[in-house]
Structures are given as structure tokens and as C-alpha cells.
Amino acid sequence: MITVFKNKLFLLAIVILLAGLFAAGCGSTKNQTASNEAGPKVVEFKYPKNPGFDLIYIADDLGYWQGTGVKPKYVGAVGSPQVIPAVATGAIDFGTRHVPLSMAAIAGGADMKVVAGTNKTLPEYPHMKYFVRADSPIKGVADLVGKKIGINSYGACSEYVTKKYLRDNRLEDKVKFQVVPNDQLEQSVKQGLVDVAIIHPPDSGRAEKSPELRRLWSDWDIDQGVSGMMGYSVNGKFMRENPEAVKAVVGVLAKTANWVNANPDEARKLVAKQLDIDVSLVEGYAYYKDVITVDEPVQYWIDRLEAEDKLEKGKWKTTDFYTNEFNPYAKK
């Protein structure tokens, strides 16, 4: 059971951690407003420079920030597990991770909100895939007993979707989880450091093409996509002080997501260029239309987090965690 005391200690630890992180590698992270004598002021929002399949960077490549009054200010790389804590403390203004991470942070007292629902799991565009070595004896879920599964972090899709799958097959507590950075998951399973690696786009495309690996299944095979929504979260202070900027950011995210849905191959080319890899190795994402956050996946994660004793049962409703008020395409 989460206690207020533990939550405060957690947030204090994160503040100390991130203060050291950004002081060491990122310089000043204060909000800034860029001015131009010939034009209007532009609100800059702090965002991590973590190359990948990310609408913020794709919008940059497409020129979608121009003329909007907002633009990203990249403050350096932030490790995946630190993205949501960094949003909570204001070290960055926006961040994208799987929605349960934001939900758990909000339930723990973090001042932040999900303002755009993005990735949508489809059969051809799953959120994550499970890989083993080509010579692995693992064929089905029953073969996972006693095995080690590599995940990119605790507290989100890789852990909780897998735990539910195991529980539904009466295999709860029969496997071990090991956190491995995204860019090391493929190599970890090849070397036998883990028996299974759960890999997300764009890296799952390279794993799919590797003759050394074999795909077991995807999250679509497990739950038909209900768990797959990621989201962009915003720091609460930034949201209250810059509501028009937040609206502009969400508008650009919606425009970019709709472009990716209509032009998946072109989007993959942009990401391949960012990552300096062959486009055939890049796997893409699909997105909810207009990045409007919908109730069903958020309710799924309320249920899951309650089952994992991360949320107090019966206390939370979906709109405690997200809002569409800044989305110009949402019905008011």
C-alpha cells in the first residue's frame, strides 16, 4: 500500500537525483522565452534529446513548430526510467512514456497531467514484441517458468502486461525480470544474459530482421491493444503558467501523429535518418487520431495498478490522470 510518507521520500529522492543529473550534463533547465525583434515571442519547452520514434522530433523534421509560438528546447539525454520523474520535478516540461508511469506518479502526488494519448496498438503496429534466441526452446507461455525476461524499466507495459499474462496462465511469480536499457535488450538476449527480451519500436524492427532471434508474440496477441497507449505528460506548473503553449504543443502533436498515420513509410525514413540506421530496420507506431486520450486504456491501467497495489482501490477515475482540454480537436 502506498503511503504519503513513501511518496514524499520518493519524490525527494528523484529531485536530488535529477538535480545532479542536469547539473552535470544539461546545464540550466529554466523555462525560457525566445524573442525576435522582428517577430513574436516563442515559448520554449524543455524536452529530452532521446532519439527514437518520437512525434516531437518528427515534427521538427517536418517544420511543424514554425509559426506556432512554441518550440522544443532539448536539454540532453534522460534515461527512460527518469523521464516521468523529470516531468514531475520540472527538470523537463514534457515527456512521453507509457501512461501507467504517469498515473502512478500522479497518484503519488506528482504535479503533472497526461495531455495527449499517442501510440495505438494494432496488429501491424504492436507496442512491443517478445524475442528469444533462434535456438531457444521457449515456444509458448508455459516455457517461461524459471526464465529471465529483459524489460526496459519497472512499472509499465513490459512488467505489468507480462505479469497479467502470466497470472492469467497461472504462472505468476514463476519468472524473473531484469531491467536492461533499450539499446542493450537485443544484444542481451543474443548473449544469453536474458532468456526473453521485450523490445519496442523502432528497435524491434532490427530484432525482427535478425537471424539470431525469433519473435514469440506481441502485446496485441496478449490483449488486442487495450494496454498499448503511450502519452505525453506535462509538468503542472508549466501547464498552469503556459496554457496557450500547451495547447499549441498538443496541436502540433496531433498534426504530426495524423501525418505519421497517413505516411508510415515516410515517417520511418525520418526516424532512420535520425538514428543513422537503414530504414528497413526501423519499426513504426500507429497513433490515436488527433492524439485524443480515450478512457478504455486508462481504465485498463487503473485496474492493473490496483491489482499490483500501486493505486488505492476505488479511489481513482480516469480523468484524474488525463485531460483533453488542451486538444484543439477534442469535443468541448
Amino acid symbol at 173 = D
| Global pTM value | 0.85
State whether 97 and 136 are in the same domain.
no
Among 199, 223, 247, which residue terminates a domain? 223
State whether 111 and 141 are in the same domain.
no
> What is the maximum alpha-carbon separation in the chain?
66
| pLDDT value at residue 40 | 74
Would you place residue 112 in the very low, low, confident or very high pLDDT band (cuts 50, 70, 90)? very high
- Number of separate domains in the chain: 2
Q: What is the CATH number of the domain that holds 138?
A: 3.40.190.10
Residue 329 inside a domain? The answer is: no
State whether 12 and 114 are in the same domain.
yes
Q: Domain limits at 210? A: 129-223
State whether 106 and 239 are in the same domain.
yes
16 or 173: whose pLDDT is higher?
A: 173
**Predicted confidence (pLDDT) per residue in 179-202, tens digit:** 999 889 999 999 999 999 999 999
Among 223, 257, 283, which residue terminates a domain? 223
Residue 332 inside a domain? The answer is: no
Would you place residue 31 in the very low, low, confident or very high pLDDT band (cuts 50, 70, 90)? low
- CA-nearest of 122, 260, 128, 254 to 269 is 260
Helices (H) and strands (E) in the chain, counts: 12, 11
State whether 14 and 97 are in the same domain.
yes
State whether 302 and 184 are in the same domain.
no
Residue 325 inside a domain? The answer is: no
